[in-house]
């Protein structure tokens, strides 16, 4: 053997003599049990797959840098924003939502925009989408909704019937469905779309004052979408279109950028604003809450191994850093607990030690042991608190101001009660803002998707959803009815018993 070559070894470092032929009794005889290297190879291979994400399974990721360009210290004391020019390392994972790990990148779907900032005061995960709103406003509905986007239990196929049944029964979804059915539902890869924190979050400044905020990442590459037909065609040509596009851009030095901007609402404004500021199915119109510049995010490094970095990445909306806080948005509240639970299931109890997830700064606590503990487990230092030996303390300066929740009555409140049930004005406004071409494409996509509804409840589901399009905008309702060849007079008579 040439001396400058590395020796092939087992996982425990023992050099192999032979890697292509198993040890046998004679050239034509059976394999010996003692060829444990064969067993090791087969056994490790059998364990290569980990559970795919229950949603957002197909994705692409890259490392980058966030640079502060504007002073927002009057809103937040978060250290990552504390001077102009400050840079923070980031990792961003994009994804589609409903498809499996091997599904096509150009499916009509929202896109995930999950961003990790490795800040000196811990990792901040902003786990958003390319849309500012969502389909439902209570986390109890999330799993039901997702089931309608996945495979039918009987046919094992995607089912437009399930999707439109759910959407038509949950008119709060209309705003997000309108965006989904527009060309923004089929972005041209991941570089040409915006990202949104979507929820309302809070910022806390040095005086311990709270403001409500929304986060927006505006693509500097310009918005570019596939038409529905182009997206369908690309599914066959290159199902990994978005992965190739991102990878090649970064490899060739064409680093994609997004401008981070925020919208800010005072606690006083929130009390009287016409829309519930914590309702994830609503936007804060820019005319009322203009965008404020913050900084620039640039993606500039492809991970050298997809599984190690992208598949094992784990983002949690609960992970905010000092100066940034939650809000009473019910969906955000549900997500605070759901994600770390998903990570423990998918990656194990010590998933925070995986390099892509690990905080590169201080981590001190009394969590110990568990499967795959690979960081030394804090050696001989105490594993309980309080103790008389170390000097680890909980620092009260990080406490945020108390929340005034206005009531102490606990109960199951209807999310869509009077005053919270205008599902139509904002999607209608969105439709009316569209150009004629965009309206045409939207109607084509809606009618194409709704044509897939089948079975005994077909007419009921179509008519129920048509009512929602009409309520958003008469012109939109008429166009969809025409596209579906529905006789609206007959449909209204048929629906009289239901609405």
Question: How is 158-187 classified by DSSP, letter by letter?
Answer: B-HHHHHHHHHH-GGGHHHHHHHHSGGGSB
Contact positions with ligand HEM (CB under 6 A) in 244-273: none
User: Among residues 204, 297, 314, 446, which is the contact residue for ligand HEM, using CB under 6 A?
Assistant: 314
Measured from the CB atom, the residue of 183 and 313 that comes closer to ligand HEM is 313
User: Among residues 98, 139, 185, 427, which is the contact residue for ligand HEM, using CB under 6 A?
Assistant: 139
Measured from the CB atom, the residue of 346 and 457 that comes closer to ligand HEM is 346
Check 21, 44, 129, 445 and give the catalytic one.
129
CA distance linking residue 134 with residue 240, whole number of Å = 25
Q: Cα 64–67–71 angle (5° rounding)?
A: 155
User: Among residues 95, 149, 176, 263, which is the contact residue for ligand HEM, using CB under 6 A?
Assistant: 95
CA distance linking residue 444 with residue 231, whole number of Å = 14
- The 8-class DSSP code of residue 4 comes to T
User: Among residues 32, 50, 54, 169, which is the contact residue for ligand HEM, using CB under 6 A?
Assistant: 54
**Minimum distance of ligand HEM from residue 17's CB (angstroms):** 41
Binding of ligand HEM at residue 149 (CB under 6 A)? no
Tokens 């050696």 correspond to 379
Site string for ligand HEM, 284-313 (x = CB under 6 A): -----------------------------x
Binding of ligand HEM at residue 315 (CB under 6 A)? yes
User: Among residues 58, 77, 93, 282, which is the contact residue for ligand HEM, using CB under 6 A?
Assistant: 93
Strand 201-204 and strand 111-119: the pairing is unpaired
CA distance linking residue 205 with residue 209, whole number of Å = 5
Binding of ligand HEM at residue 58 (CB under 6 A)? no
User: Among residues 99, 112, 256, 303, which is the contact residue for ligand HEM, using CB under 6 A?
Assistant: 112
**Minimum distance of ligand HEM from residue 253's CB (angstroms):** 25
Contacts of residue 221, defined as CB under 8 A and 6 or more positions apart, other chains included, come to: 191, 192, 256, 257
- Cross-strand pairs, 299: 64
**Minimum distance of ligand HEM from residue 30's CB (angstroms):** 43
Confirm if 22 and 31 have CB atoms less than 8 A apart.
Answer: yes
Measured from the CB atom, the residue of 116 and 471 that comes closer to ligand HEM is 116
Contact positions with ligand HEM (CB under 6 A) in 316-375: 331, 334-335, 338-339, 342-343, 346
**Minimum distance of ligand HEM from residue 107's CB (angstroms):** 15
Measured from the CB atom, the residue of 313 and 353 that comes closer to ligand HEM is 313
Tokens 């109960």 correspond to 411
User: Among residues 53, 192, 257, 468, which is the contact residue for ligand HEM, using CB under 6 A?
Assistant: 53
Clarify whether 82 is annotated catalytic.
no
Confirm if 495 and 463 have CB atoms less than 8 A apart.
Answer: yes
Question: How is 287-332 classified by DSSP, letter by letter?
Answer: TTS--EEEEEEEEEE--S-HIIIIIT----TT---TTEE--S-HHH
> Binding residue per annotation — 339?
yes
Binding of ligand HEM at residue 145 (CB under 6 A)? no
Measured from the CB atom, the residue of 194 and 441 that comes closer to ligand HEM is 194
How many residues touch ligand HEM under the rule CB under 6 A: the total is: 27
Cβ neighbour number for residue 392 with a 10 Å cutoff: 14
Binding of ligand HEM at residue 142 (CB under 6 A)? yes
Confirm if 194 and 236 have CB atoms less than 8 A apart.
Answer: no
Clarify whether 56 is annotated catalytic.
yes
Contacts 24+ apart (CB under 8 A), 332-341: 332/199, 332/200, 332/201, 332/280, 333/139, 334/138, 334/139, 334/140, 334/142, 335/127, 335/139, 338/139, 338/142, 339/127, 339/314, 339/315, 340/316
State the burial class of residue 492 (Cβ atoms within 10 Å of its Cβ: 0-12, 13-18, 19+): middle
- How many CA atoms does the CB half-sphere of 114 hold within 13 Å? 27
Measured from the CB atom, the residue of 193 and 314 that comes closer to ligand HEM is 314
**Minimum distance of ligand HEM from residue 297's CB (angstroms):** 15
Check 19, 39, 56, 429 and give the catalytic one.
56
Question: How is 58-102 classified by DSSP, letter by letter?
Answer: SEEEEEEEEEE-S--TTT---GGGSSTT-EEEEEEEEEESSS-TT
Tokens coding 335: 């997500």
Which stretches of 330-418 are assigned E, i.e. beta strand?
A: none
Contacts of residue 376, defined as CB under 8 A and 6 or more positions apart, other chains included, come to: none
User: Among residues 60, 106, 119, 129, which is the contact residue for ligand HEM, using CB under 6 A?
Assistant: 129
**Minimum distance of ligand HEM from residue 306's CB (angstroms):** 13
Measured from the CB atom, the residue of 204 and 342 that comes closer to ligand HEM is 342
Site string for ligand HEM, 160-199 (x = CB under 6 A): --------------------------------------x-
Measured from the CB atom, the residue of 143 and 487 that comes closer to ligand HEM is 143
Residues making up the binding site for heme: 339
Annotated binding site: 339
Catalytic residues: 56, 129
Interaction site with ligand HEM (CB under 6 A): 53-56, 59, 93, 95, 112, 114, 127-129, 134, 139, 142, 198, 313-315, 331, 334-335, 338-339, 342-343, 346
């Amino acid at each position: 053997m040439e001396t400058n070559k590395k020796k092939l070894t087992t996982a425990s470092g023992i050099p192999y003599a032979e890697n292509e032929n198993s040890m046998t009794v004679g050239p034509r005889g059976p394999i010996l049990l003692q060829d444990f290297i064969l067993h090791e190879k087969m056994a490790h291979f059998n364990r290569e797959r980990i559970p795919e994400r229950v949603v957002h399974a197909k994705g692409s990721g890259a490392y980058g840098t966030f640079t502060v360009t504007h002073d927002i210290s009057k809103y937040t004391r978060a250290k990552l924003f504390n001077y102009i020019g400050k840079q923070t390392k980031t990792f961003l994972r994009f994804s589609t939502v409903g498809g499996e790990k091997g599904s096509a990148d150009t499916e009509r779907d929202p896109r995930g925009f999950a961003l990790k900032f490795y800040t000196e005061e811990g990792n901040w995960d902003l786990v958003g989408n390319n849309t500012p709103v969502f389909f439902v406003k209570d986390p109890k509905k999330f799993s039901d909704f997702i089931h309608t986007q996945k495979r039918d239990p009987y046919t094992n196929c995607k089912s437009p019937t399930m999707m439109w049944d759910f959407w038509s029964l949950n008119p709060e979804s209309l705003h997000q469905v309108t965006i989904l059915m527009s060309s923004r539902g089929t972005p041209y890869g991941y570089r040409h779309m915006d990202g949104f924190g979507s929820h309302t979050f809070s910022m806390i400044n040095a005086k311990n004052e709270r403001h409500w905020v929304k986060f927006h990442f505006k693509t500097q590459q310009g918005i570019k979408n596939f038409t529905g037909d182009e997206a369908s065609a690309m599914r066959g040509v290159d199902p990994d279109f978005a992965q190739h596009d991102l990878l090649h851009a970064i490899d060739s030095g064409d680093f994609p950028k997004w401008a981070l901007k925020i919208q800010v609402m005072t606690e006083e404004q929130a009390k009287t604003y016409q829309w519930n500021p914590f309702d994830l199915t609503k936007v804060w119109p820019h005319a009322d809450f203009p965008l404020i510049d913050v900084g620039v995010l640039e993606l500039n490094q492809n991970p050298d191994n997809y599984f190690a970095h992208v598949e094992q990445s784990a983002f949690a909306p609960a992970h905010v850093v000092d100066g940034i806080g939650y809000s009473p948005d019910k969906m955000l509240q549900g997500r605070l607990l759901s994600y770390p639970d998903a990570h423990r299931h998918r990656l194990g109890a010590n998933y925070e030690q995986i390099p892509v997830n690990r905080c590169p700064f201080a981590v001190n606590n009394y969590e110990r042991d568990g499967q795959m503990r690979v960081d030394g487990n804090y050696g001989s230092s105490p594993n309980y608190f309080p103790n008389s030996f170390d000097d680890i303390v909980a620092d009260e300066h990080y406490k945020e101001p108390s929340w005034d929740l206005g009531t102490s009555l606990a109960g199951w409140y209807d999310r869509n009660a009077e005053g919270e049930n205008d599902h139509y004005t904002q999607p209608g406004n969105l439709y009316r803002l569209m150009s004629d071409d965009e309206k045409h494409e939207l109607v084509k996509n809606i009618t194409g998707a709704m044509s897939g509804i089948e079975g005994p409840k077909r007419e009921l589901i179509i008519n129920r959803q048509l009512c929602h399009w009409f309520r958003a905008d008469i012109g939109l309702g008429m166009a969809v009815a025409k596209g579906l060849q529905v006789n609206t007079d007959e449909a209204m008579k048929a629906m009289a018993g239901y609405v």
